[in-house]
Structure 1
Amino acid sequence: MQKQQTALDKIKSTALSAQRKAIEAQARPGESIQQAQSRFLQESDEPEMDKPKKQAALSTLRQAPDSDGQRDFFIPAMWDVSTKDSRSLMDVAVFRLSKRDKRAGETIRHVLADGYVEVKAGPDGMASIWDYDIVLMAISYLAEGAKAYRAGRAEKPGRVFRPHISDVLKFCRRSDGGRQYEEIEAALDRLKNTTLKFVRTRPGKGGRVVREADAEGLISNYRTISYAETGRLMSVEIELPTWIYREVVDAKHPEVLTIDPAFFLIDLGIGRFLYRLARRAAGRGSAKWSYETIYQRSGSTGTFKKFTYALRQIIAANDLPEYTLSEEGGVSGPQLLMTHRGATMERPD
């Protein structure tokens, strides 16, 4: 009898283990195992005939590289810090969202409440949202250094950032291949030659309105070291612009927000833009933006109709890190509701 019970316990344990693996495999970015289990069981209980017949939505996330998460015990993990982004520009695209259209020499202007920001591309093309991954890494380490400085544990960080090239690829969750090394330098060219012009108005002395204009690149300068015989990059030195340094180090309250590491796995440019918008606008709650406003803030060169179609594809996939997306009707057109997954689970029935 005891042997039979032991055998039953082993079968039960194996079945539970298999179920857990199935749940983990189907968990969405940002879901806890408990949240995924609840959704998994609910969907399993739903009769097949009652499930709506629809075309399976394609995932917006790419697969993580094989080396993802592997660590060398003897090398400090420069890539293993919280990813930070500049809060002030998370709701506008200061880069192109297309992988194919280089947009060399083009200009994007975003009108804001107190002025506008103008993005001007150089001859190498406009920096892309994937190029911006390098800036995210630099901001993250600058924020970490500034935090240590304020706590009295380190000296005030400078504007120059010197990562090893493998650390850049690791942080951005890219594979360690030959082409990747070549692409890093091309990305740095575009980042240096994509200029941001900030124009703001503010009250001056005597009640007169003052107009301020500042222009800098997404990075100020860079220097690389590579093997002459192969051209393979070894290290890179990046000088950050003063506008980033002011926001992260000199500001009394640093203008940065932590973003999910799964951001780097979002394959679509629009998907990446939507995540940054949701992180800034919704935070741990929810926010609602019209499709028209999102289209304008994206700087897209395509038609509004094509943009709306792409937006609805991403909503159907609904696999962005941390946030669920849904469409709602509005007086002036469709609206996107962005809700943090934690906020969704905490709502009463």
Structure 2
Amino acid sequence: MGDSQQVDLFLDQLVDGAPFKDDRALMEHPWFSLTKQPRKTPFEYNRGGVEIRIEPGAKGMASIWDKDLLMYIGSIINDKIERGEPVPEDRKIKFSAHDFLKATRRQTSKRGYDLFLDCLERLDGTRIRTNVASAKERTRKGFGWIESYTIHERKTKAGKTVMAAVEVTLNEWMFKAIVIDRRVLTISPRYFDLSKGMERRLYELARKHCGQQRSWLIGIPSLKEKCGSDREERKFRADLKKIIADANIPDYALRLDKAENFDSPFKSRSPKEWMLEVRPLRPRYDELPAADDDNAGNEQQLLANAKTVSARPKKLHIEAVERARGRYPGWDIELIEREWMRYTEERGQVLKNPEAAFFAFADKWVENRSVDA
């Protein structure tokens, strides 16, 4: 076994199928720059009693792409908790840089490693002052996103110096939020494919606010503030229109319109004010038929219990898709879902228990194919 393989045995990493998690407070408020151009000016946010001040370091303010590392580390810690493993009391996570770059869909070339080093320096240099609570304590704290980092290097047989491992000490504020408050939400892996900072920020807000409601409606001035944007409102709306037209944001549909055109008790008092509506593309748990555990895993019985209708079968809800990703690591879940919907539609049936039927179908699908097929 080579040296690098021996080192890997002692590195933390996300177990196959473990979902990425994000901190609810980081999703709710604007903490990061939305541009890849270094922001060197401080940022302040005051809304609803929440106070945030961000002071950039020498390399600029940490960006929403730099935040990927915080999610990666937080997801490793969360996975340890859910698997019943001890979490490091010193808040240190030691991992492979290559694993982080691959997991967040970044390039693994020399350029990728150079950008990763810049990311570490921005997270280390950015200073945050806030009164947002952590571990049920509301205090005014000042901290950096990471307290420290160490890069462990080794020489290859060719004499080239490479990153063998990276050790990061997470700040106490975030560590307590994950370990004590457990304020985390699962995010879609497709989040890491989003190339625009505004797209990423809109996904965060959608994921945070649409969990317990069928839609989320917000006025553009308030949305602009929650995004931390200093764009003129008309330009901000133009950015939104382009994002809506591109339709890249996973799991959610966006609509920009005047308040008077929305049918909602929470609409703006001004009928001419522009507003954004966000709706999940998948039904919530309470919009689906109740599951029947006795039928789970028995596809023929599920088909026999189905009622024939002319409607196309509905997509699975988000939580079921995330569970499928954990159950079938490496598989294209959306492909399996499409095949299952086609299979069901061809028979003109919608099942009473669609989730159990999907997993029964998927079990047979993966059993008869290879993951690379």
Provide, for residues 245-292 of structure 1, a one-character-per-residue CA deviation record: whole Å limited to 9, x for no partner.
1111122xx110000000000000000000000000112632111111
Shift of 1:293: 1.1
Q: Which moved more, 1:128-137 or 1:294-303?
A: 294-303
**2:201 aligned with 1:236, yes or no?**
no
TM-score (norm 2): 0.64
**Matched ranges for 1:287-306 at <5 A:** 287-306=216-235
Structure 2 counterpart of 1:157, one-letter code:
P
Shift of 1:344: 9.1
Identity, in percent, stands at 27
Match of 2:282 in 1: 342
SS in 2 for 1:343: coil
Cα distance change on mapping 1:262 and 1:236 into 2, 3 Å: same
Match of 1:154 in 2: 85
Alpha carbons 1:146, 1:157 under 8 Å: kept: no
**2:140 aligned with 1:213, yes or no?**
yes
Cα distance change on mapping 1:231 and 1:156 into 2, 3 Å: closer
Provide, for residues 109-131 of structure 1, a one-character-per-residue CA deviation record: whole Å limited to 9, x for no partner.
12132331111111211111111
Cα distance change on mapping 1:309 and 1:231 into 2, 3 Å: farther
CA distance in 2, matches of 1:200, 1:179: 36
- Unaligned 5+ segments in structure 1 are 1-74, 202-209
CA distance in 1, matches of 2:39, 2:199: 19
Match of 2:114 in 1: 182
Shift of 1:139: 0.8
Structure 1 counterpart of 2:48, one-letter code:
A
**Matched ranges for 1:82-121 at <5 A:** 82-100=19-37, 102-104=38-40, 106-121=41-56
Structure 2 counterpart of 1:261, one-letter code:
P
Alpha carbons 1:181, 1:232 under 8 Å: kept: no
**Matched ranges for 1:204-283 at <5 A:** 212-227=139-154, 230-251=160-181, 254-283=182-211
Structure 2 counterpart of 1:214, one-letter code:
K
Shift of 1:234: 2.3
Alpha carbons 1:133, 1:172 under 8 Å: kept: yes
Cα distance change on mapping 1:326 and 1:233 into 2, 3 Å: same
Structure 2 counterpart of 1:248, one-letter code:
I
Q: Which moved more, 1:223-232 or 1:112-121?
A: 223-232
CA distance in 2, matches of 1:130, 1:185: 13
Alpha carbons 1:114, 1:200 under 8 Å: kept: no
Match of 1:318 among 239, 242, 247: 247
Shift of 1:298: 1.6
- Unaligned 5+ segments in structure 2 are 1-10, 260-269, 289-310, 312-373
Shift of 1:333: 1.6
CA distance in 2, matches of 1:175, 1:260: 19
CA distance in 1, matches of 2:86, 2:15: 21
Shift of 1:307: 1.6
CA distance in 2, matches of 1:188, 1:198: 21
More relative contact order, 1 or 2 (CA 8 Å, 6+ apart): 1
Provide, for residues 316-338 of structure 1, a one-character-per-residue CA deviation record: whole Å limited to 9, x for no partner.
12231110111131226211111
> How many pairs align?
259
SS in 2 for 1:162: strand
CA distance in 1, matches of 2:189, 2:87: 26
Cα distance change on mapping 1:248 and 1:200 into 2, 3 Å: closer
**Matched ranges for 1:69-80 at <5 A:** 78=14, 80=16
Shift of 1:226: 2.7
CA distance in 1, matches of 2:73, 2:170: 8
Shift of 1:231: 4.9
Alpha carbons 1:182, 1:233 under 8 Å: kept: no
Cα distance change on mapping 1:232 and 1:306 into 2, 3 Å: farther
SS in 2 for 1:310: helix
TM-score (norm 1): 0.68
CA distance in 2, matches of 1:262, 1:235: 26
CA distance in 2, matches of 1:306, 1:277: 20
Match of 1:130 in 2: 65
CA distance in 2, matches of 1:124, 1:272: 22
Shift of 1:230: 4.3
Alpha carbons 2:12, 2:76 under 8 Å: kept: no
Cα distance change on mapping 1:249 and 1:85 into 2, 3 Å: same
Alpha carbons 2:57, 2:122 under 8 Å: kept: yes
